[in-house]
Amino acid sequence: MELLRTVGAMQAHAESARAEGQTLALVPTLGALHEGHLALVRRALDEADHVTVSVFVNPTQFGPGEDYDAYPRDLEDDRKTLSSLGVDAMFAPSVDEMYPYAANEALPGPLAWVTVEHLDEHLCGAYREGHFRGVTTVVTKLFHACKPDIGVFGKKDAQQYVILKRLVDSLLFDLEIVGVPTVRESDGLAMSSRNDYLDPEEREQATVLYEAVTAAEEAIQGGEQEGQAVVRAMQNALTAAPTAKVQYAEVVDAHTLQPVDQLAPGQEVLAAMAVFFGDTRLIDNAFVEVPRS
Amino acid sequence: MELLRTVGAMQAHAESARAEGQTLALVPTLGALHEGHLALVRRALDEADHVTVSVFVNPTQFGPGEDYDAYPRDLEDDRKTLSSLGVDAMFAPSVDEMYPYAANEALPGPLAWVTVEHLDEHLCGAYREGHFRGVTTVVTKLFHACKPDIGVFGKKDAQQYVILKRLVDSLLFDLEIVGVPTVRESDGLAMSSRNDYLDPEEREQATVLYEAVTAAEEAIQGGEQEGQAVVRAMQNALTAAPTAKVQYAEVVDAHTLQPVDQLAPGQEVLAAMAVFFGDTRLIDNAFVEVPRS
C-alpha cells in the first residue's frame, strides 16, 4: 500500500492507475478506523480495481464547541489496518495541503467553499452551523485529489449521504456515490469513533438510539401516517435512557430533508435523531419506504 | 470537430482523449465568438493536444435586470468558426443539462453552489450580486464535464480571472488557469460581444475606456504611489466621453482585489472600470506591476 501525503503525489498516483484502465474507489474517513469503516473499505474493494482510503480530520466541519482537538487520531494503526485489507493507497494529507491559502500567512485566504442549499436546514444541519459546508468543501477537494469513479460513504451519516449525492449530481462530478448500511455492535449501537468517549453506564444506555430507530421503522411499516406520531414513537423509546438528552428526533423526506406531516404511500423517509450522553453526541437513523397499501 | 450536447457524451469524449495520452484544454465561452475568443482558442491550440470550446449562456451569472435574454446567440456560426480553427470538440449543453435538478419539476432544487469568499467585494462584484457565484459554479461544472488540464480565460474579465485562479488552487483542481491578454480593436476598444449593442456615437466615445486604462498604467509606471491619484487619472480620461456613466473606477491589489491606498514597489495591482453607454455596460482594465525604484 502506498502512503501519500501531498495532493500532487495523490493526483499522480490516481492518474497512473487510471492510465492502466483501472476503476478507482475512494473511501473518505476521519481515521480512527473501526468496523464501520472496514465495511466501507470492503465494499470499495468489491466495486473497484483500485481503492484509496483518505484519512483527514477536516477542521472546517467541526464547530467552535466541538471535538476537533480531541477527535481520536492514530495514523500508524490506521495504516496497518488498511494495508492488511489490501487497500492500494492511503491518502493522509496535512491541513496545509488541503487548505493551501489558509496556510499561507503571506497571502491568507480567501477560500473557495462548496455548499448545497436547503438540505442542511433540518436534522444535524440545524445544530451544527457550517458543518455540511465543511463536508461538501472537503469532499470536493478529496474528489479532485483522488479522482475516483465511486465514492463510498456510510449511510449512518444519513444527512451527509443525501447531501453528497446531491452535490455530485448538481456539480456534474463524473462519479457515483455508494452508500453502505450502518454497521452495529451486537446490541444494536451504531459503530462510531465517538462511542469511545462513553463511560460504561452511558454505553449501556446508548442502545436506546437503535431502539428508537426500530420503533420508527415499526410504526411506519405498521401503517402510521402521521409524521409526529412516528416522532413520538422515537421519543418514547429514548425515555428509557435517563441520562440521554435528545437534541432532535425528526422524520423528513429522504430527498428534500424537509419534515413530513403526512407520510405518502411509496415515499422514502428518513427517521433520524441526535442524542447527547454527557458531552458525547451520538446519531442514528433509518431510511424507510412508506408501505404502498 | 465533434459537437457534444450532453454532459455524459462530453465526459466520454474527454476520457477517450485522455486515454490516448492527449493533454486537454478547455475554452469556456458564452458563444457569439469574436476575435477576442479566437485568441483564447489559438492559445489553447498552442498549449494542448486536444481543445474543447464550450458555448453556454449561463443563466446564473446574469442578474435580474441584465441581458440574459438579449445576449447574442448563434450556435451555427460559432460551430463553423471553431471547426475552421481546428478545434476538436464543441460542448454546447442545454440549461437542463447543466442544472439537472432545477430542470426537474417533480424534484426542483436544491442546487450546489461554489463560491470564493471576499474576492467579489469590489469591482464588478459590488454591482453584480451573485454574478461570480454563477461563474464559479458553472466553471466547476464545465471542468467536471470537460476534464481539461488547462482552462483558458481572457484577462479582459480580470476579476473573473483572479477568482478562477483562486478557485482552482483552493479546491485542488488538477488543472491550470491560463490567462490571455485582452484583444483590442484598432482604436483600442476591448473586444466584447456587448460592443454590438453600441450605436455609432457610443461606439466612438467608447474608446475612452482604453484611454483611461492607459492613463492608469502611465501614472503607475511614472511613479504615482497614491491609489486615489491613479483613480483620478482614470476618471479624468473618462470625462472625454459625455454620454459615458461611470459605474466604478478602482485600483485594487491583483491578488486580494481589495482597494490600494498606497502602492508598494513590486506590488501587482489591477486598475479596472465599468462604464455604461446607455444600457450597455463595458469593462476594461490592466494588471500593472508597481515600479521597484
**Considering CB atoms only, which of A110, A147, A171 is closest to B141?**
A171
Confidence of residue A100 (pLDDT cuts 50, 70, 90): confident
The sign of the CA dihedral B10, B144, A24, A21 is: positive
What CATH number is associated with residue A247?
Answer: 3.30.1300.10
The answer to whether A284 and A212 have CB atoms below 8 angstroms apart is yes
Check if B255 contacts A (Cβ < 8 Å). yes
Q: What is the mean pLDDT of residues A86-111?
A: 82
Confidence of residue B100 (pLDDT cuts 50, 70, 90): confident
- B41 shares a domain with B139: yes
Distance from CA of A258 to the nearest CA of B (A): 11
Residues 131-160 of B with CB under 8 A from A: 136-137, 140-141, 144-145, 147
Does some domain include residue A42?
yes
Does some domain include residue B292?
no
| pLDDT digits 0-9 by tens, A130-150 | 999 999 999 999 999 999 999
Three-state SS across chain B?
A: CEEECCHHHHHHHHHHHHHCCCCEEEEEECCCCCHHHHHHHHHHHHHCCEEEEEECCCHHHCCCCCCCCCCCCCHHHHHHHHHHHCCCEEECCCHHHHCHHHHCCCCCCCCEEEEECCCCCCCHHHHCCCHHHHHHHHHHHHHHHHCCCEEEEECCCHHHHHHHHHHHHHCCCCCEEEEECCCECCCCCECCHHHHHCCHHHHHHCCHHHHHHHHHHHHHHCCCCEHHHHHHHHHHHHCCCCCEEEEEEEEEECCCCCECCECCCCCEEEEEEEEEECCEEEEEEEEEECCCC
Contacts 24+ apart (CB under 8 A), A178-181: A178/A25, A178/A43, A178/A44, A178/A47, A178/A150, A178/A151, A178/A152, A178/A153, A179/A153, A179/A154, A179/A155, A180/A39, A180/A40, A180/A43, A180/A152, A180/A153, A180/A154, A180/A155, A181/A39, A181/A155
Q: Which of B180, B208, B225 is the last residue of a domain?
A: B180
Confidence of residue B108 (pLDDT cuts 50, 70, 90): low
The overall average pLDDT reported for chain B is 95
**Considering CB atoms only, which of B167, B174, B256 is closest to A11?**
B174
- What is the dihedral angle through the alpha carbons of A183, A185, A191, A193, rounded to the nearest 10 degrees? -150
**Considering CB atoms only, which of A110, A174, A255 is closest to B166?**
A110
Does some domain include residue A188?
no
Task: State percent of chain B over pLDDT 70.
Answer: 98
Say if residue A105's pLDDT is above 60. Answer: no
Q: Which of A158, A180, A202 is the last residue of a domain?
A: A180
Q: Which residue in B13, B34, B37, B122 is the catalytic one?
A: B37
Nearest CA in chain A to B118: A110
The sign of the CA dihedral A44, A47, A51, A54 is: negative
Q: Which residue in A122, A115, A119 sits closest to A139, CA to CA?
A: A115
Q: Quick one: pLDDT at residue A208? A: 98
- B56 shares a domain with B130: yes
Confidence of residue A109 (pLDDT cuts 50, 70, 90): confident
- A127 shares a domain with A8: yes
Say if residue B42's pLDDT is above 90. Answer: yes
Chain mean position to CA A64? 19
Pairing of strands A244-253, A268-277: antiparallel
Q: What is the mean pLDDT of residues B178-198?
A: 96
Does some domain include residue A185?
no
- B168 shares a domain with B242: no
> Taking CB atoms and an 8 Å cutoff, what residues of chain B touch A167?
112
Does some domain include residue A291?
no
Check if A198 contacts B (Cβ < 8 Å). no
Q: Quick one: pLDDT at residue A101? A: 73
- Asked if the Cβ–Cβ distance from B171 to A144 is below 8 Å, we say yes
Q: Quick one: pLDDT at residue B65? A: 87
- A146 shares a domain with A86: yes
- B83 shares a domain with B151: yes
Does some domain include residue B113?
yes
- A128 shares a domain with A264: no
Say if residue B106's pLDDT is above 90. Answer: no
Residues 76-115 of B with CB under 8 A from A: 98-101, 107, 109-115
> Taking CB atoms and an 8 Å cutoff, what residues of chain B touch A173?
144
Q: Which residue in B187, B263, B201, B183 sits closest to B230, CA to CA?
A: B263
Please give the Cα distance from B188 to B203 (Å, whole number).
Answer: 11
Check if A171 contacts B (Cβ < 8 Å). yes
**Considering CB atoms only, which of B107, B112, B118 is closest to A116?**
B112
Distance from CA of A37 to the nearest CA of B (A): 25
- A146 shares a domain with A258: no
Q: How far is CA A120 from CA A61, A127, A165, A192, in A?
A: 13, 10, 13, 21
Say if residue B79's pLDDT is above 80. Answer: yes
> Taking CB atoms and an 8 Å cutoff, what residues of chain A touch B116?
110-113
Q: Euclidean distance between the first and final Cα of chain A, in Å?
A: 51
- A157 shares a domain with A210: no
Distance from CA of A80 to the nearest CA of B (A): 28
Residues of A with a catalytic annotation lie at 37
ipTM comes to 0.95
Which triple of cell numbers denotes residue B59? Answer: 443563466
Q: How far is CA A267 from CA A168, A227, B101, B105, B242, in A?
A: 23, 12, 19, 17, 64
Total structural domains in chain B? 2
Say if residue B244's pLDDT is above 70. Answer: yes
Which triple of cell numbers denotes residue B140? Answer: 466547476
| pLDDT digits 0-9 by tens, A170-181 | 999 999 999 999
Q: What is the mean pLDDT of residues B270-275?
A: 98
- Asked if the Cβ–Cβ distance from A117 to B109 is below 8 Å, we say yes
Distance from CA of B158 to the nearest CA of A (A): 17
Q: Quick one: pLDDT at residue A194? A: 92
Q: Quick one: pLDDT at residue A216? A: 98
- B108 shares a domain with B200: no
What CATH number is associated with residue A29?
Answer: 3.40.50.620
Please give the Cα distance from B160 to B283 (Å, whole number).
Answer: 12
Coil, strand or helix: which one is A207? coil
> Taking CB atoms and an 8 Å cutoff, what residues of chain A touch B174?
11, 15, 144-145, 147
A153: domain range? 2-180
> Taking CB atoms and an 8 Å cutoff, what residues of chain B touch A113?
114-117
Please give the Cα distance from B53 to B55 (Å, whole number).
Answer: 7
Which triple of cell numbers denotes residue A130? Answer: 457550517
| pLDDT digits 0-9 by tens, A251-293 | 999 999 999 999 999 999 999 999 999 999 999 999 999 999 7
Pairing of strands B150-154, A150-154: unpaired
| pLDDT digits 0-9 by tens, A182-228 | 999 999 999 998 999 999 999 999 999 999 999 999 999 999 999 99
| Contacts for A45 with CB less than 8 Å, ≥ 6 apart | A25, A51, A85, A86, A87
- B197 shares a domain with B91: no
Check if A206 contacts B (Cβ < 8 Å). no
Q: Which residue in A85, A93, A92, A79 sits closest to A41, CA to CA?
A: A85
Three-state SS across B187-247?
A: CCCECCHHHHHCCHHHHHHCCHHHHHHHHHHHHHHCCCCEHHHHHHHHHHHHCCCCCEEEE
Distance from CA of A260 to the nearest CA of B (A): 15
Does some domain include residue A186?
no
Please give the Cα distance from B217 to B291 (Å, whole number).
Answer: 11
Which triple of cell numbers denotes residue A128? Answer: 451544527
Q: Helix, strand, coil proportions of chain A in percent (round to 5)?
A: 40, 25, 35
- B240 Rama sector, left if φ>0, alpha if ψ -120 to 50, beta otherwise: alpha
Check if A24 contacts B (Cβ < 8 Å). no
| pLDDT digits 0-9 by tens, A9-61 | 999 999 999 999 999 999 999 999 999 999 999 999 999 999 999 999 999 99
Beta-carbon pairs below 8 A across chains A and B: 106
Nearest CA in chain A to B21: A19
Check if A7 contacts B (Cβ < 8 Å). yes
> Taking CB atoms and an 8 Å cutoff, what residues of chain B touch A111?
116-117, 170
- B81 shares a domain with B173: yes
Say if residue B103's pLDDT is above 70. Answer: no
Q: Which of A180, A206, A234 is the last residue of a domain?
A: A180
- What is the dihedral angle through the alpha carbons of B111, B116, B119, B124, rounded to the nearest 10 degrees? -20
Q: Which residue has the cell 407520510?
A: A263
Please give the Cα distance from B212 to B238 (Å, whole number).
Answer: 6
Does some domain include residue B187?
no
> Taking CB atoms and an 8 Å cutoff, what residues of chain B touch A7?
172
The answer to whether A61 and A141 have CB atoms below 8 angstroms apart is no
**Considering CB atoms only, which of B101, B110, B116 is closest to A112?**
B116
